[in-house]
Amino acid sequence: MRSEDVEIPEDALSETFLAATGPGGQNVNKVATAVQLRVDVFRLGLAPHAYERLKQIAGSRMTSGGDLLITARRFRTQEANREDARRRLAEMIADAHIVQAKRKPTRPSRAAKAKRVDAKKQRSAVKRSRGRVSYD
């Protein structure tokens, strides 16, 4: 699933605007350009595996109440920060839908074990030959 294909219902989102740090000159202290996007994850209607994966991806940005907080303050305008926050949300949801391949544990073959033991014996012989020299 691509991030462009993700549809996010508007009723699952709420935005608040905060004073941002960073570029903006004198404007930075006067205008609230940073966006904090709060998403009610339960309203997204995700499959159980996608919900678990989204929790894993979100990490500390997910609250115990099931809200996902995304703060965007990279740009100087509210609109650019809104778009950035929504794009990041769409990417997270798209990544959550990707099913991870299960790892199949493997064992070394008998030949591989024998090869390893032979290499150890050879190395041991080299080290043993470095012993003290006796002057008989």
Q: At what angle do helices 48-58 and 78-96 cross, to 10 degrees?
A: 130
Q: What is the mean pLDDT of the chain?
A: 83
Can you tell me the mean pLDDT for 54-75? 85
Bridge partners of 38? 14, 69
Hey, which residues does 39 pair with through a beta bridge?
Answer: 13, 68
Does this model's pTM top 0.85? My answer is no
Q: Model confidence at 6, in pLDDT bands (50, 70, 90)?
A: low
> Beta strand 67-72 with 13-18: parallel, antiparallel or unpaired?
unpaired
What is the number of residues in the chain? 136
* Mean pLDDT for the stretch of residues 116-134: 90
CA dihedral of residues 122, 124, 130, 132 (deg, nearest 10): -140
Written as one letter, the residue type at 94 is: A
CA distance 25 to 49: 45
Which two structure tokens, joined as six digits, stand for 58?
């979100």
Rounded Cα–Cα distance for residues 90 and 39 (Å): 11
Q: For the CA atoms of the chain, what is the radius of gyration?
A: 28
Residue 3 pLDDT exceeds 60: no
Angle (CA) 72 78 84, round 5°: 40
Structure tokens that stand for 119 in this block: 């290499």
Fold adopted by 3-96: Double Stranded RNA Binding Domain (3.30.160)
Partnered with residue 67 across adjacent β-strands are: 40
